[in-house]
């Protein structure tokens, strides 16, 4: 029995815990799952990002279907975001391929972008209300054409962040929509971002899979654990103070970003390559 098969239940348990937090906070799993795969399980950064992206694409598909039935998706806004994110996802993946995703340079790039994305997410969680109160009214007065351009630009930024780090489609994306469309109900904005995140994370995940940076065995274990976790977290969310959840999650993300900034990243991909060979053959 290989090490990866022996550890499979642990991945499912970790995904279950992350799923609960996702259900409670609405923050994308990339902010939690990718750092966990890197820091706790010693997975290569590129492999962690690719595996989590494919996992996120599948789990968000389920959420998108629910929001679709509830009619809490604005497809016009989702298309605007995708117009920016999908092309930049393709460009970013092409750049990672040219850089060699398994190289030391790519590993360092992923580490830096992941750290920055985690800090931005933490700041967003802590100060979202202040940002909205200060800028939403001003942005809401802009012409629809300018709002559309800013939405496409926001999608482009998300495409780069998500493709490199798997972080950004949750808190950052929703906050951008709240700022740009302050009069739209929050539930509809959340549903719109989830709908947009489906093609974004699937495209990025499939791209990483084609680059060889997805572990199918770990991916399956994440799905098994995260789905029931999200259901439980979603049920418990109304019973727990949102402010307290934001503070705890933001503190966790800052601690993880600090750990990553000190270079706590696997320096060798030997074990990972062996795992990928086992999975693919």
- 26-30, 131-135, 198-202, 253-257, range with the lowest pLDDT: 26-30
The answer to whether position 73 is within a domain reads yes
Residue 244 domain-assigned (yes or no)? yes
Render 237-253 in DSSP notation, one character per residue: GGGS-HHHHHHHHHHHH
Does residue 150 sit in helix, strand or coil?
A: helix
Question: Containing domain of residue 54, as a range?
Answer: 8-273
Residue 258: partners with Cβ closer than 8 Å, 6 or more residues away: none
Rg over CA atoms, the chain = 18
| 25 or 116, greater pLDDT | 116
CA distances from 211 to 47, 96, 104, 232, 269 (A): 10, 9, 16, 34, 15
Out of 8-17, 117-126, 147-156, the most confident range is 147-156
| 97 assigned to some structural domain | yes
Question: Is 196 contained in some domain?
Answer: yes
Q: Within a domain: residue 278?
A: no
Confidence band of 278 (pLDDT split at 50, 70, 90): very low
> What is the average per-residue pLDDT within 246-258?
79
Is 281 part of any domain? no
Chain-centroid distance, C-alpha 27: 8
- Judge contact between 156 and 162, C-beta under 8 A: no
How much is the average pLDDT of 31-60? 88
Answer yes or no: is pLDDT of 269 > 60: no
- What's the structural domain count of the chain? 1
Q: How confident is the model at residue 275 (pLDDT cuts 50, 70, 90)?
A: very low
Question: How confident is the model over 154-206, as pLDDT tens digits?
Answer: 999 999 999 999 888 777 888 888 889 888 887 788 888 888 988 999 999 99
| Largest CA-CA distance found in the chain, in angstroms, rounded | 61
Q: pLDDT category, 85, cuts 50, 70, 90?
A: very high
Residue 263's pLDDT is: 58
Spatial contact of 23 and 235, defined as CB atoms under 8 Å apart: yes
Q: What average pLDDT does the segment 254-266 reach?
A: 70
Q: In whole angstroms, what is the distance from residue 29 CA to residue 168 CA?
A: 10
**Would you say residue 280 lies in a domain?**
no
CA distances to 214, 215, 224 from 221, in Å: 13, 10, 5
Q: Could you tell me how many helices (H) and strands (E) the chain has, helices first? A: 11, 0
Residue 141 has pLDDT above 60, yes or no: yes
pLDDT band with cut points at 50, 70 and 90 for residue 104: confident
pLDDT of residue 171: 77
């Amino acid at each position: 029995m290989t090490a990866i098969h022996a550890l499979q239940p642990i991945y499912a348990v970790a995904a279950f815990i992350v799923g609960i937090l996702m259900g409670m906070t609405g923050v994308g799993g990339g902010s939690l799952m990718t750092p966990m795969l890197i820091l706790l399980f010693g997975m290569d950064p590129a492999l962690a990002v690719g595996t989590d992206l494919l996992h996120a694409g599948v789990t968000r598909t389920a959420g998108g279907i629910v929001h679709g039935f509830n009619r809490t998706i604005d497809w016009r806004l989702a298309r605007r975001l995708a117009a920016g994110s999908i092309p930049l996802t393709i460009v970013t993946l092409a750049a990672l391929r040219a850089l060699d995703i398994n190289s030391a340079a790519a590993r360092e790039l992923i580490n830096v972008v992941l750290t920055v994305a985690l800090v931005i997410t933490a700041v967003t969680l802590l100060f979202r209300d202040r940002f909205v109160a200060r800028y939403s009214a001003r942005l809401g007065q802009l012409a629809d054409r300018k709002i559309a351009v800013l939405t496409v630009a926001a999608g482009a930024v998300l495409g780069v962040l998500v493709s490199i780090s798997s972080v950004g489609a949750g808190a950052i994306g929703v906050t951008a929509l709240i700022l740009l469309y302050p009069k739209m109900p929050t539930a509809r904005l959340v549903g719109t971002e989830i709908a947009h995140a489906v093609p974004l994370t699937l495209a990025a995940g499939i791209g990483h899979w084609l680059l060889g940076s997805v572990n199918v065995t770990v991916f399956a274990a994440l799905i098994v654990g995260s789905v029931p976790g999200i259901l439980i977290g979603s049920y418990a969310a109304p019973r727990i103070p949102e402010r307290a959840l934001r503070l705890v999650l933001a503190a966790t993300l800052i601690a993880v970003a600090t750990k990553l900034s000190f270079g706590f990243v696997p320096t060798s991909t030997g074990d990972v390559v062996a795992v990928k060979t086992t999975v693919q053959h």
